[in-house]
Chains A and B, each alone.
Chain A
C-alpha cells in the first residue's frame, strides 16, 4: 500500500534469524540465553528436544491447571449424583441405598476425565496466549517456512536489551542463514 510507505518506517517489532539445522538453532539459542535476553523465542516445525534447556525455560505449569479442572469434575459429578439420586429424588434400585457410592464410580471417572481434557486444552491455550493471529513474526515473508523445515530465533523489540543495530549484529554472529528486522504491520 502506498499510504503505508508514505508514513515512513514502521517501528521495529523484532529481529528474526533463520537456521536450516535444528542443532545450529539450538546452539544459537544457548547463546541468546547466555546473553541475557528475556523476550525472545525459538520457532520450530516440531518440538526440538533439548530446546527448553537451551532457552533456560522451566517446567510447564499446565499440570496444575489440569489438576484443578479434574478435581472440579470429580466434585461436581459426586455432588450431582448424591443430590439428584440420594436427596432430591431418592431411587432405590435392587434394594441398594439411594446414595450408593459404588455405582457412582463410572460417572465420577468419566466426568473427571472430561473436565481434565477441557482443562488441558483451555489451559494450554491460556498459557500460550492463543489464539493470536496478528503476531509480528507473521509480517516476515520468510517465516512461512517455519512450519515447513526452517528454524527461527526471534528477539522482540520490547526486550530491555534490544537495540536494532546491536541485536542484529549479535544475531549475525550466531551464523544463521538469514537475519532480518521485522517491522510492525509490514506485510
Chain B
C-alpha cells in the first residue's frame, strides 16, 4: 500500500504538465507588463462611458431628489434596494471561493480566487452606492454612524438597517484586507520583474519589501488562515443581515424565517455566475486556458447547479408555507407574485434561476464554453429579477387596497443601474491591467513539483520511513 495523503488518491493533476513556476509568473505577469491590447481599450472605453452615465444620473438625482425615481407609495423601495441586494450578492462568490474553499482545502480555488476577490470588492462598492443615494440626502449619510453630534442622540442599534451598515462596511473592509494580504507576494513578483522605475516604485511600495522569507510565510499563512476562518461566517452573516431588513418587517412576502439561508444561497449562486462570466472572458482574452482549466469551470458549474437547486427549493417552500401557515395575506402575496401584475418578472426569475442551471446536469453543457457563458449570464439576470420580485411585488400591494400602486422605473432608475455596471467594469478593467489576476504564489504552491516529496523515489523513501497503516 503506497503511503499517500488521502486527498491525492485518484486525483488527476490540477494543471497541465507543461506548467512550471516560471511559466506561471510569465503568463500572469505579462498582461500587466505588455502594452494594453486594443480590445482592452475598447472595453475600457465602453465601461468609462457607462461610468459617465452613472455620474450624470447621480447629479440629476441629487439635484431633483428621489422623486426622479419611479418610487411611490406604497412601493417606497424599488430598483435602489434591488440593485443593492443584487450587487452585494454578486460580491459573495469572491469571499466564498477564497475563504470557504480555502478552509476545505480545495486547491482548485487558487486559479480563480484572485479575480473573484477583486470582483467582490468592486461589487460591494457598487452595492454601498445604492443605500447611500437612496436616503435622498447623501450628505447626511453619516447619521447611522455612532458619532457624537450636537443633537445628543445616538443611532438605534435595534434597527436591521443599522446592522446592515455595520455588516456591509465590515464585509468590505475584511474583503479588502483579505485581498491585499493575498496580493503581497504577487506584488513582489511584479516588483522583481519590473523594467521601469515607476513600476518598481509602485509595486515595491505595496509589496512592503516582501522577500519570501519562510519566517514570514509562517506568520503569513497563519494570518491568511485566520482571515479565512473569520470571513467564512462573515460571508454567511452579511447576506443574512441584509435579509433581516426584510424578514423583521411585517410585510407579507418578507416576514419569513427562510430568508437568511435563502438569501445566502442566492448570493453564492449569483456570485459564481458573475465569476464564471468574467473568468470566461479573461481566460479567452489573455490565453489563460492552462491556468483556468475546464476542470475549474466544471467545478464552478457544479456549485451553480447546487445553489440553483437550493434557490428553487426556497421558492417552492415559500409557496408551501404561504399556504400551510393559513395566513391569507401571505397566501395572497404569493399568488399575486405568480399571477398578478408582475407575473412576467416572477416567471422570468423562475425560468432563469431554477430551470436554466438544471442544464448543468449534462456533462456536455457543463463543459461547453458557449453554454456555460450563456447560462451564467442568464443567472445574473434571473437573480436581479429575484430581488426585484421580492421587493416590488411585496410592496405594491400593502394592507390597504386604497393605496395599491404599480411601480415603473424612470430613465434615472435605468441610468443609475446601468451606471453602476459601468463603475464595476471600469474598476475591473483597471484591475486586469494593473494587478496580477491570478494568485501566482498560490498556484505555484499547488503545482506537482511544489511538493518537496513529489518524486517517486522520494515517495518510496518517505513511505519506508513511516510506519505502515494498520
From residue B178, how far is it (CB to closest CB) to chain A in Å?
7
Residues of A within 8 A of B442 (CB): 46
B434-470 vs A, Cβ < 8 Å mask (1 yes, 0 no) = 0000001110110001111111001000000000000
Question: Does B193 lie within 8 Å of A148, measured CB to CB?
Answer: yes
Interface hit among A5-13, A125-133, A160-168, A178-186 = A125-133
Residues of B within 8 A of A42 (CB): 213-214
From residue B406, how far is it (CB to closest CB) to chain A in Å?
31
CB nearest neighbor in A for B152: A89
A94-127 vs B, Cβ < 8 Å mask (1 yes, 0 no) = 1010001001101101110110111011011101
Question: Does A120 lie within 8 Å of B156, measured CB to CB?
Answer: no
Residues of A within 8 A of B204 (CB): 133
Interface residues of A, count at CB 8 A: 69
B144-180 vs A, Cβ < 8 Å mask (1 yes, 0 no) = 0010000011111111101100110010011001101
Residues of B within 8 A of A57 (CB): 214-215, 218
B84-96 vs A, Cβ < 8 Å mask (1 yes, 0 no) = 0000000000000
From residue A183, how far is it (CB to closest CB) to chain B in Å?
17
Question: Does B22 lie within 8 Å of A49, measured CB to CB?
Answer: no
Q: A23-B458, A89-B154, A116-B230 are contacts. A60–B222 as well, Cβ < 8 Å?
A: yes
Interface hit among B35-43, B233-241, B280-288, B359-367 = B233-241
Question: Does A22 lie within 8 Å of B146, measured CB to CB?
Answer: no
Question: Does A84 lie within 8 Å of B146, measured CB to CB?
Answer: yes
B207-239 vs A, Cβ < 8 Å mask (1 yes, 0 no) = 011111111111111110011001101100100
Bound: A2/B440 CA distance, A:
39
Question: Does A149 lie within 8 Å of B209, measured CB to CB?
Answer: no
Residues of B within 8 A of A45 (CB): 21, 25, 185, 189, 212, 440-441, 444
For the residues of A in contact with B, the DSSP-based class is helix
- B293 located at the interface, meaning its Cβ lies under 8 Å from any Cβ of chain A in the complex: no
Question: Does B181 lie within 8 Å of A47, measured CB to CB?
Answer: no
Residues of B within 8 A of A84 (CB): 146, 154-155, 157
From residue A62, how far is it (CB to closest CB) to chain B in Å?
5
Q: A84-B146, A120-B223, A135-B209 are contacts. A41–B158 as well, Cβ < 8 Å?
A: no
Interface residues of B, count at CB 8 A: 70
- B188 located at the interface, meaning its Cβ lies under 8 Å from any Cβ of chain A in the complex: yes
Residues of A within 8 A of B227 (CB): 117, 120-121
Question: Does B230 lie within 8 Å of A128, measured CB to CB?
Answer: no
Q: A62-B222, A66-B226 are contacts. A113–B170 as well, Cβ < 8 Å?
A: yes
Residues of B within 8 A of A147 (CB): 25, 185, 188-189, 191-192, 210, 212
Question: Does A44 lie within 8 Å of B157, measured CB to CB?
Answer: no
Question: Does A48 lie within 8 Å of B226, measured CB to CB?
Answer: no
**Which of B157, B166, B453 gathers most chain A CB within 10 Å?**
B157
Q: A89-B152, A110-B167, A121-B177 are contacts. A134–B223 as well, Cβ < 8 Å?
A: no
- B20 located at the interface, meaning its Cβ lies under 8 Å from any Cβ of chain A in the complex: yes
CB nearest neighbor in A for B210: A130
**Which of A26, A55, A66 gathers most chain B CB within 10 Å?**
A66
Residues of B within 8 A of A23 (CB): 452-455, 458
From residue B149, how far is it (CB to closest CB) to chain A in Å?
11
- A174 located at the interface, meaning its Cβ lies under 8 Å from any Cβ of chain B in the complex: no
**Which of B163, B193, B204 gathers most chain A CB within 10 Å?**
B163
**Which of B220, B440, B441, B458 gathers most chain A CB within 10 Å?**
B220
- B244 located at the interface, meaning its Cβ lies under 8 Å from any Cβ of chain A in the complex: yes
Question: Does B445 lie within 8 Å of A128, measured CB to CB?
Answer: no
Question: Does B163 lie within 8 Å of A107, measured CB to CB?
Answer: yes
- A71 located at the interface, meaning its Cβ lies under 8 Å from any Cβ of chain B in the complex: no
Query: Within A27-69, which residues are at the interface with B (CB < 8 Å)?
Result: 29, 41-52, 55, 57, 60, 62-63, 66
Question: Does A131 lie within 8 Å of B25, measured CB to CB?
Answer: no
Residues of A within 8 A of B146 (CB): 80, 84
Q: A23-B453, A117-B227, A128-B220 are contacts. A47–B214 as well, Cβ < 8 Å?
A: yes
Closest 8 CB pairs of A and B: A149-B21, A131-B208, A124-B223, A84-B154, A60-B222, A47-B217, A46-B445, A42-B214
List 30 A-B residue pairs with CB atoms under 8 Å apart, sorted by A's residue number. A26-B452, A41-B214, A41-B215, A42-B214, A43-B211, A44-B214, A45-B185, A47-B445, A48-B214, A50-B452, A51-B214, A55-B215, A60-B219, A66-B226, A88-B154, A89-B153, A110-B166, A113-B230, A117-B227, A121-B227, A124-B223, A125-B208, A128-B216, A130-B208, A131-B208, A135-B211, A145-B192, A148-B189, A148-B193, A149-B21
Q: Which residues of B contact A (CB under 8 A)?
A: 20-22, 25, 146, 152-160, 162-163, 166-167, 170, 173-174, 177-178, 180-181, 185, 188-189, 191-193, 204, 208-223, 226-227, 230-231, 233-234, 237, 241, 244, 440-442, 444-445, 449-455, 458
